Amino acid sequence: MKTKIALIGAGYIADYHARGLQTIPEVEIIAVVSKNIGNAERFAVKYGIEKAYNEIAILVEDNTLDAVIISTPNQFHAPYAIAFLEKGKDVFLEKPMAMSGNEGKQIAEVANEHNQLVMVGHMWRFDADIQYIKEKVAAGTLGKIFKTKGYGIHENWGPSGWFTKKELAGGGALADMGVHAIDAVRYILGDPKPRKVYARISTEFGDYDVDDTGILIITWDNGTESIIESGWWHPHMDGPEASTSLFGTKGYANLFPTYLKMKNGEDAITTVPELPKRDEHCDQIIYTRQMEHFVSCIKTRDQPVPGLVEGQTVLDIVDAAYTSAKTGEVVNLS
């Protein structure tokens, strides 16, 4: 029997999810929802989806539906997720999981109460380059990682529409781009817990009520300090989305471009691994693997990773960063 899934949201990222799901033989996409019915209908035609709606009510009550992929403006993540979870549907949520840490906790409470699964779209965990660097860190190749630098920046570009409205997005470049850098480095480091967050966040480039510039310092419980930079419209970026530099006592690793630079006395030896060629930086394959994992978990009833814990950790860091930026103080996380 096929797993029946509906797409909630028909924007840019939904195309990646639809393409990924259509490679999985045991999946049937039964419907797509968009606030604009015309967008939903065009999306349905494009992917051969039978039903198009402009609200979720019918699908919430559809007992044949197994799961939903929610890729709406952030404002709707928690209410939509909760509505579907309460009716026995598993939920995939685009990042960030919710508008705030409190909303994330509400989602988790309902999911646990109804024994439903939640996966969060931190898709860089499914990237071959990131997994290569993670394996080197785990093996101790770089020694103790004492510092990292990660980037979530758009160079000479920034989004428009709901992304730039606090009411719909919850935050700006940090909530949009910084979360990729945060989760990517956390995954590479073996998912440590954040202990302290200090941030300077501002709006430099646009007439909107969200941030487009941010610098965070995260202290992890393993002793590593992570610098995270987020931004839109910046004149330069040190690396593409989720690009990360890791500084260890035995060597250095760089992600995007991906290579190792190992200490050799007073010299260094650089190694460039042979990794799969990328068609684009945010390649379709990582979204496809993400969907494969979600569908597999629906069948096995295993908790997806990244899921509630990973999504909540990122939300807690973002909340702490916004608080730190307002107060000028370090925020301690338990």
Q: Same structural domain for residues 64 and 211? A: no
Q: Provide the pLDDT for residue 200.
A: 98
Strand locations in 203-280, DSSP E?
213-220, 225-234, 244-248, 251-255, 259-264, 267-271
Residues 191, 295, single domain; the answer is: no
- For residue 217, the cross-strand partners are 198, 227
Interval 234-270: pLDDT, tens: 999 999 999 999 999 999 999 999 999 999 999 999 9
Query: Does 61 share its domain with 108?
Result: yes
CATH number of the domain residue 88 falls in: 3.40.50.720
Query: Residue 193: pLDDT above 80?
Result: yes
Do 182 and 61 reside in the same domain of the chain? Answer: no
Q: Say yes or no: 197 and 83 in one domain.
A: no
The predicted model scores a pTM of 0.97
CA angle 136, 140, 142 (to 5 degrees): 70
- pLDDT tens, residue by residue, 42-95: 999 999 999 999 999 999 999 999 999 999 999 999 999 999 999 999 999 999
AA identity, residue 125: R
Tell me: do 76 and 181 sit in the same domain: no
**Cβ proximity of 215 and 139 under 8 Å:** no
Tell me, yes or no, whether 225 and 294 share the same domain. Answer: no
pLDDT at 231 over 80: yes
DSSP state of 35: S
Section 306-319 average pLDDT:
98
Decide if 309 is inside a domain.
no
Residue 21 falls within a domain, yes or no?
yes
For 321, other C-beta atoms within 10 Å of its C-beta total 29
Total of domains in the chain: 2
**Which residues, 6 or more positions from 254, have their beta carbon under 8 angstroms from its beta carbon?**
239, 243, 244, 245, 246, 260, 261
Residues 296 and 220 in one domain: no
Give the range of the structural domain holding residue 99, as residue numbers without chain letter. 3-123+284-304
For residues 98 and 105, what is the distance between their CA atoms, to the nearest angstrom?
9
What are the tens digits of pLDDT across the range 112-150?
Answer: 999 999 999 999 999 999 999 999 999 999 999 999 999
